[in-house]
Structure 1
Amino acid sequence: MIRRFANNERGITLIELLITIAIFSLISILAFNVLTTSLKQKNKVEDHIDVRQEANLILAKWRQIHEEESSTTYGFCYNSDTGLITINSQLLASEGYHFEDISIKYSNDISPNYCEAFSKQPLFVEFTLVGSNGDQFEVDTIIGREIKVTENNEGSTDFFDYLVEHKVFIYGNSLSFTGPLIEGPSSTMVIKGDFLSEQLNGGASINVQNIYIDGHTTINSSSDDSYFGTNAGKTIVNGNLTLLNGKRNMYGDIYVNGDFYLKDAKIYKNVYVNGNVEIDWTPTLSSEAIVYYTGTLKYPKELNNNIVSKFIKKSSIATESFPEYPIPSLKPDKWFEDNGYVSGGTITNNKKIFSNDYRSDSWVASASNVIIVSKGNINLSNIGSLSGVLFAPNGEVNFSGASFEGLIIARDGFHVTGGWPKVTFKNIEHYISNPDKIPFN
């Protein structure tokens, strides 16, 4: 019985085996082609973003040299054979990049020689930046443009009054932040320099009503829940605004005195662009959002027309004033001595510190109502929670800890270097209510 059953068993024929192998090979080839195509598309997108970011860095460097006040001219040279540009004998682009189709004109429509000392009047600049892999990015902009602002004569011109009236939270040349949240829904933040993606944790949110950035701004986001600004506020960028990866929520009206690139971000209110606009594949605009622009519009041909129709060209656009308050100098050393400031020591509640260059590395579990004033930098690490005023008119503030509440005024910027902190606004009046007690002139 068993022998008969075994003899009746039927194996796989050669034809069935060959068909199976053929089907498996076909599926493998299709899967490999899909994977290869996806990787090529991913690399192409990344290469395009790399060239765009390099272009932004080039323009930021060029503008900085063009606008600095130490001289009236600077050396410029374009080598048409190599496609390289040097400014003051230094290469303008990183290794692997070169320039093509370059055109430079002054505002009087006169083109300078491409190897001479450039004067610091506005330059109308066009070029194509080419990466090592051949990816290209076209630039059409102005170097040295003057932002048109509306005069704002409301309130006092006194710096202290400005801090109080506009609820200023952060004021300085730069901001770098590794924490999850900057919280100041009714406050003002002023950054008098570039604000690039590497300066902001990709998932961080900035819940600040009025944001002023006097430079180029590039934002990448790793979280769809992150946000920038408030719906009742505004963001003013005196430079290019580039919104790259991630569905970051951009709240409030946005004013851009430069070019605007929009990829993934969600726009909730109007955007006013004094320059060119480029749309990538996946932006989101709310029903009430409109983008007004004065330059050119570039977008993929297959982009949904419902998105494209929200971009409207104008001969001129609305402008917003940019705060121009220089950080005042410190009062004399004797004033600090007479008003209860000490030169250093451990941070404790209600302590007032005045130092040439203050550093605290020892563990501080909690300290409130602290005022730290430095002629140089302020460096704080191993902080549990701290509230107060940090004032460094000639330097920077570096902070590593769990939380900070108060305000930061630092010429060279506020840099959160560790600790994943939450930073929260509190008005300067909470700590210094008597104007006679402010530590600056």
Structure 2
Amino acid sequence: MTTCRLCGSASLASVVDLGATPPCERFLTERQLEEPEVTYPLHLRVCTGCWLAQIPPMITPEETFTEYAYFSSYSTSWVEHAREFVRGAVDRLGLGAGSFVVEVASNDGYLLRHVVERGIRCLGIEPSENVGRAARDAGVTTYTAFLDPGTGAAVRAEHGPADLVVANNVYAHIPDVIGFTKGLRALVADDGWVSIEVQHLLTLMERNQYDTIYHEHFQYYTVASARRALATGGLVLVDVESLPTHGGSIRLWARPLEAVNGPGGRSGPDGQGEPGGQNGRSRSDGQSRPGGPGGRVAALLAAEKAAGLHELSGYAEFGERVARVRRDLLGFLLDAAREGRTVAGYGAPGKGNTLLNHCGIRPDLLPFTVDRNPYKHGRFTPGTRVPILPPERLAEERPDYVLVLPWNLREELVGQLSFVHAWGGRLVFPIPNLEIVEVNP
């Protein structure tokens, strides 16, 4: 990588180098264990011009997402999060039977099915053919495509402009951030809304969440860099919410420039819009749309600046904190092996494969992991080649420790895994720091 993909600057500084790993969702079949496996450098850098953190686009989205192993509906808490988002968006934006909602990277319809239940017209745009089929089977109309300006214009021409465009956990997954943003603008009505959820670089850095760095994620956003990215497509950031999802995310609310500076809204501090009602009207119940005059935007920008993320000094110690996570986890696993204690994994998420590969954890230290997704059963983790089995194997094998790889679902999984208490098993969380947890029945 020689230049920033957002602003074109050649001033890119190293944040952390995780070596070379295979793509995190390229789970291996048994036959593929006898074949060579390609790895790619995984080196996070930050642009000192616009502060977008990024990795080189070593693999294309087409390689990763045409056939995809991740189905959102297998996470109970994530489905509930989607339900609450839809409920809130319907109320706050005044969506109804005459509205139109589009979700980009709609996966298996985990979110839009709640829109369908409310009788609101909607469309999913999903590049992965296999998960798109699952969405259609669930009654969610889904268009198989990657979003770019041409796709956005074609969908708008056929279906009309969207009152709300949702893009959850996809804004980091596209190397052409400018083209994707222009695609979002092509989809949304001139007085409409765009809602984007993406991991916040601030929490990634503060909580040592380095395992969320992998080849599917091409960039990592602060509010400052996200605002710059949105502006490339003619979208204005008007509000931002802090969310607990994925260890700490932000929900960006944006509007077309026309809605902010035209009759439907007015300009706020730092170019932020102060949202009015649908089509510029006020809500009859007196509640405001997301935002206000950029207050939460300003607060998070200030938090980022205080953490040093708008200057190079804030990134200096991250590499050492990452190394400490690796040393602690390996030390625990080696001690457990010497003591004759057994360890199994729970989950096979993409982030887990960054962790396993960076730490060099293979079946001698982690004989197997389990996952709720049947697509992964009988396959092996990329690079480290740990077998992936159905969840029932935990109760059969009764390991002394269960290493939880999707640590971001901690609250959900502590409840799901309470049964390990029956044989005295304990849970191990590797991020942000190694923690061994007793579970109660």
Report the TM-score, using the length of structure 1 for normalisation.
0.25
Normalised TM-score (structure 2): 0.25
Higher relative contact order (CA 8 A, sep 6+): 2
More strand by share: 1
Question: Which one has the largest radius of gyration?
Answer: 1
The structure with the largest helix share of the pair is 2
